[in-house]
């Protein structure tokens, strides 16, 4: 029997904004820039790295990778009842060309995170979050630009190469990695669904040609559940459909009252729960406690909000209140939240979990932020609007001798296959990679 059988409910968090930075998760990385025009401001990891240059970008990002997520964060989440984490990674961690401004070097930190997950007992989903040319044009792809991904076979081949290396990483950490998401949020508005399915099938053949021992996970491209059949193939095994459910990126939904937002949870999830799960399960890979878009940079660096009417193209405030300001309950300081708003957040989260727990499970976005309270899982539990569950994560036994991390350690251990491959990926040393793969 597959080890994936009878897994129980996934209760996870996203480790977002670490190995692919997003302005709203860590705005301090972007607030450092002072340019003469808004057009020159970095808005994503591509322009962030280009503005700083590779040496300084590497220095700042290595500090970020080293400190923004820690073992203590993972242990705390496990104590609160989290049993999975989803780790978004950009393609450039695996496949970077000299003409791109990105910097690589993420993999040793990813492996350190996998080691912590192993020690704590968390299962892991590896998520290819950004593809060459951008699969959706959002900053969460690493490059906020008109999407070019599927226009180039070179882009597709590079995406598959990154996925191959990610799958190899999953195989080497098979006691920890239980899922691979082949690509986050490819845009059905840019390319026909049939072309996206072609990529999905290529990716399936690649992953299953290497391992049968992970969930094969695909995103729904924001199609409604009634149309998900266009995105799956009958021969897939151990597959999960990933859907992201948010209530703040729509001009109509932003106008709803608190009670209407809670009612909307069931409306938005109704067809999700009806999807035929005999061949493919459903996981809500992203959701949050937010029902407004006041969060700084949530619509992208330098952009405003629908809530107060400052978002380009909106023209007037859309919030359901007499005064639409991004302060108090709708600001970035949770200490200013009223008791009634905190109670609403709790009811809204409970309404979502009541449905998502009946699916394959869920991953909250995000595990933490700098100043986006409704998007911060750890803060939500600490402040009482996200519930705790009994701890189910149990420490796993390593399949190889313990090794001392080469990150921040003065006592290096003898090189293992994992460590040799880690060096090969970081240095781009194809010859060394061939020795250990």
User: Active-site residues: which are they?
Assistant: 185, 286
What is the DSSP code string of 282-320? EEEEE--S--SS-STTTT-TT---TTTT-STTT-S---S
Per residue, the 3-state secondary structure of 124-151, as one string, reads EEEEEEECCCCCCCCHHHCCCCCCCHHH
As a whole number of angstroms, the distance between CA 153 and CA 151 comes to: 7
CB 45 within 8 A of CB 90: yes
Angstrom distances, CA of residue 192 to CA of 66, 217, 220: 39, 20, 13
CB 48 within 8 A of CB 31: no
| Paired strand residues for 85 | 13, 124
The tokens of 303 are what? 């952009």
Pairing of strands 84-90, 123-130: parallel
The tokens of 77 are what? 């989440």
Pairing of strands 239-244, 215-219: parallel
As a whole number of angstroms, the distance between CA 424 and CA 433 comes to: 5
Cis ω before 291 (30° cut-off from 0): no
The tokens of 202 are what? 């290529």
């Amino acid at each position: 029997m597959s080890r994936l059988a009878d897994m129980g409910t996934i209760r996870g968090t996203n480790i977002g904004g670490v190995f692919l930075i997003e302005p709203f998760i860590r705005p301090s990385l972007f607030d450092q820039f002072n340019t003469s025009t808004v057009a020159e401001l970095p808005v994503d990891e591509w322009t962030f790295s280009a503005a700083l240059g590779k040496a300084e970008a590497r220095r700042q990002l290595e500090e970020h990778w080293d400190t923004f997520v820690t073992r203590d964060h993972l242990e705390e989440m496990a104590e609160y009842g989290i049993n999975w984490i989803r780790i978004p990674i950009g393609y450039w961690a695996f496949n970077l060309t000299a003409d791109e401004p990105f910097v690589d070097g993420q993999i040793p930190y990813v492996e350190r995170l996998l080691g912590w997950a192993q020690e704590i007992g968390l299962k892991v989903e590896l998520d290819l979050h950004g593809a060459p040319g951008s699969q959706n044009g959002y900053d969460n792809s690493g490059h906020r630009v008109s999407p070019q991904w599927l226009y180039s076979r070179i882009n597709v081949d590079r995406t598959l190469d990154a996925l191959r290396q990610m799958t190899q990483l999953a195989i080497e950490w098979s006691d920890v990695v239980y899922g691979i998401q082949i690509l986050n949020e490819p845009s059905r508005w840019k390319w026909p669904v049939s072309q996206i399915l072609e990529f999905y099938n290529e990716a399936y053949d690649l992953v299953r040609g290497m391992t049968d021992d992970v969930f094969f996970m695909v995103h729904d491209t924001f199609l409604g559940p009634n149309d998900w059949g266009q995105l799956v193939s009958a021969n897939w095994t151990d597959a999960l459909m990933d859907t992201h459910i948010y209530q703040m990126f729509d001009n109509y939904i932003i106008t709803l009252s608190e009670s209407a937002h809670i009612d909307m949870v069931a409306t938005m999830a109704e067809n999700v729960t009806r999807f035929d799960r005999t061949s493919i399960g459903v996981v809500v890979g992203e959701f949050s406690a937010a029902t407004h878009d006041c969060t700084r940079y949530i619509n992208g660096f330098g952009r405003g909000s629908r809530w107060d009417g400052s978002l380009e193209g909106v023209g007037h405030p859309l919030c359901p209140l007499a005064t639409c300001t991004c302060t108090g309950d709708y600001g970035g300081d949770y200490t200013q939240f009223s008791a009634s708003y905190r109670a609403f957040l709790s009811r809204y989260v409970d309404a979502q979990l009541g449905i998502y727990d009946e699916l394959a499970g869920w991953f909250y976005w995000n595990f933490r932020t700098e100043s986006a309270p409704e998007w911060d899982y750890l803060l939500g539990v600490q402040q009482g609007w996200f519930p705790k569950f009994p701890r189910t994560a149990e420490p796993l036994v390593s399949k190889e001798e313990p090794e001392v991390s080469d990150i921040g350690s003065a006592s290096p251990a003898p090189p293992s296959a994992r460590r040799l491959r880690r060096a090969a990926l970081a240095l781009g040393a194809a010859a060394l990679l061939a020795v250990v793969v």
